[in-house]
């Protein structure tokens, strides 16, 4: 009976507290207080048994969240995330931070989309607005022009591969889904930069990737102050999840936003508690490919950051990432395969 009550209380705490260590600390304090009051009735052996039982319960709860099997409804087809999926990046921009990802010609777009598919990528993410720190603003009409050009080419070449479009604008999202059958909307602002976005993706009934960011791409790196970093990120997601679920959109994907309104150190702190996002029981996308959190720390350039990217991809998968958004598809697919082989031997 006591363990049942602990389980119920743990679920209640999970509504407000998001990391396993904090939950254990809170429950430990409650149990210690209760046992002191009941010291005439509880032996030390009973107290130890209570601690072990509730620790096992919390560990099992978080493990079940981590191992939950997710599926996305992509244009009426179920897309499994049972194993981590690799999303290849195509930037239809002249100024994205990694030069090799920029593809503005028809040949470049064709070659890049073919490369993603041939190397084992199962999703393509197309962006026409650079979100690197300090990037220039691009008008909605220019963004649509770039996307129309690219999506037509990709859809003709690979009509069956799911496509995600990276945009924070509701009108752009609507155009891409209605005119080109785009499967996923990937919003770096989670509706913060366009108050029509939530209603639009709900009406379109497409999976929605929402990322944590404060401010805009132009000023986000001036907004890196947090009272309690993890709790603020979690509260941000909780509020948006509640709103979207209430509107009727169920296919949600969380992107913690590595490199967006975060210091180098905060990015690594976030990687350490990435698995705490599983409390929401939603798929998690990680986008760390060749980012400055890697190359600035290692003292190199984005062009030299592949090895560091693969290391962090490995850690992200260990912590429950369901989708890796990457420049280097072959290396990411190999990372996933190795991690899956390792998991199979964990008997």
Using DSSP bridges, classify how beta strands 77-80 and 71-74 pair: parallel, antiparallel or unpaired.
antiparallel
For the question of residue 291 being annotated catalytic, the response is yes
Which of 325, 330, 337, 343 is catalytic? The answer is: 325
The answer to whether residues 288 and 313 touch, using CB atoms and an 8 Å cutoff, is yes
287, 83 Cβ separation under 8 angstroms: no
For 142, 313, 321, the CA distances from 68, given in Å and listed in that order, are 40, 20, 12
Q: What is the DSSP letter of 73?
A: E
3-class SS at 67? Answer: coil
d(CA 233, CA 149): 36
Residue pair 157/177 in contact (Cβ under 8 Å)? The answer is no
Q: Which residues pair with 325 in a beta bridge?
A: 87
CB 165 within 8 A of CB 173: yes
Q: Are 190 and 212 in contact (CB under 8 A)?
A: yes
Q: Exactly one of 20, 146, 169, 291 is catalytic; which is it?
A: 291
Find the helix or strand (DSSP H, E) in which 331 lies: helix 329-344
Helix (H, G, I), strand (E, B) or coil at 126: strand
The residues assigned a catalytic role are 291, 325
């Amino acid at each position: 009976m006591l363990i049942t009550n602990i389980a119920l209380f743990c679920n209640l705490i999970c509504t407000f507290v998001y990391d396993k260590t904090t939950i254990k600390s809170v429950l430990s304090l409650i149990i210690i207080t209760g046992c002191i009051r009941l010291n005439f009735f509880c032996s030390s052996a009973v107290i130890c048994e209570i601690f072990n039982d509730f620790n096992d319960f919390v560990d099992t709860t978080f493990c079940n969240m981590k191992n939950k099997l997710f599926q996305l409804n992509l244009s009426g087809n179920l897309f499994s995330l049972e194993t981590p999926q690799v999303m290849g990046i195509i930037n239809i921009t002249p100024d994205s931070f990694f030069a090799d990802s920029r593809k503005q010609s028809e040949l470049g777009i064709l070659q890049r989309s073919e490369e993603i598919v041939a190397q084992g990528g199962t999703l393509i993410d197309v962006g026409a607005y650079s979100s690197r720190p300090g990037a220039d603003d691009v008008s909605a009409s220019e963004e649509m022009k770039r996307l129309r050009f690219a999506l037509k080419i990709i859809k003709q070449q690979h009509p069956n591969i799911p496509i995600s479009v990276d945009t924070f604008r509701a009108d752009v999202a609507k155009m891409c889904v209605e005119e080109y059958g785009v499967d996923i909307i990937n919003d770096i602002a989670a509706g913060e930069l366009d108050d029509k976005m939530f209603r639009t993706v709900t009406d379109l009934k497409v999976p929605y990737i929402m990322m944590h960011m404060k401010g805009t791409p132009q000023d986000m790196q001036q907004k890196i102050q947090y009272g309690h970093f993890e709790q603020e990120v979690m509260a941000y997601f909780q509020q948006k999840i509640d709103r979207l679920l209430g509107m009727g959109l169920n296919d949600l994907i969380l992107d913690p936003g590595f490199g967006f309104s975060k210091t180098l150190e905060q990015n690594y702190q976030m990687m350490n508690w990435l698995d705490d996002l599983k409390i929401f029981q939603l798929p998690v996308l990680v986008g760390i490919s060749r980012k400055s959190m890697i190359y600035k720390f290692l003292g190199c350039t984005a062009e030299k950051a592949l090895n560091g990217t693969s290391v962090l991809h490995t850690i992200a998968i260990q912590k429950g990432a369901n989708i890796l958004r990457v420049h280097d598809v072959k290396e990411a697919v190999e990372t996933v395969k190795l991690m899956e082989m390792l998991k199979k031997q964990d008997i």
